[in-house]
Amino acid sequence: MNLPILALGCFVSVVLGDSVGYWTGNRFGRKLFQKEDSWLFHKKHIVSAQRFYDKHRRKAIVLARFVPIVRTFAPIGAGIGVMNTRRSFRLM
């Protein structure tokens, strides 16, 4: 295996995965919370997520890199919370 090609492939995969997650959260996330509360989606969750990202934005994104399950959903939460795209791209 060629290490530089592997490293480049990993980097591109990470950036694309985070970008797709952010876009998905930004595009579809708020619509899920506009409907009636269900067992999974509650309006209070979007409000608390927005407050959390406003208060701990950098720490949340950086720490989410190292927690496997959280790492999957952090870009989606950033998209739902309408985090600035430049800032979220830099931190993700």
Q: What six digits make up the tokens of 39?
A: 């067992």
pLDDT, mean of residues 42-60: 76
| CB-CB neighbours of 76 under 10 Å | 19
Residue 51: pLDDT above 60? Answer: yes
pLDDT at position 77 is 76
Do the Cβ atoms of 72 and 22 come closer than 8 Å? no
Q: Which amino acid is at 41?
A: F
Q: Which one is predicted more confidently, 30 or 26?
A: 26
User: Whole-angstrom Cα distance, residue 85 to residue 78?
Assistant: 9
State the average pLDDT for the chain: 76
CA dist 64 and 42 (Å) reads 22
Domain limits, the chain: 42-92
For residue 91, is pLDDT > 50?
A: no
d(CA 88, CA 92): 6
List Cβ neighbours of 53 (8 Å cut-off, separation of 6 or more).
60, 77, 78, 81, 83
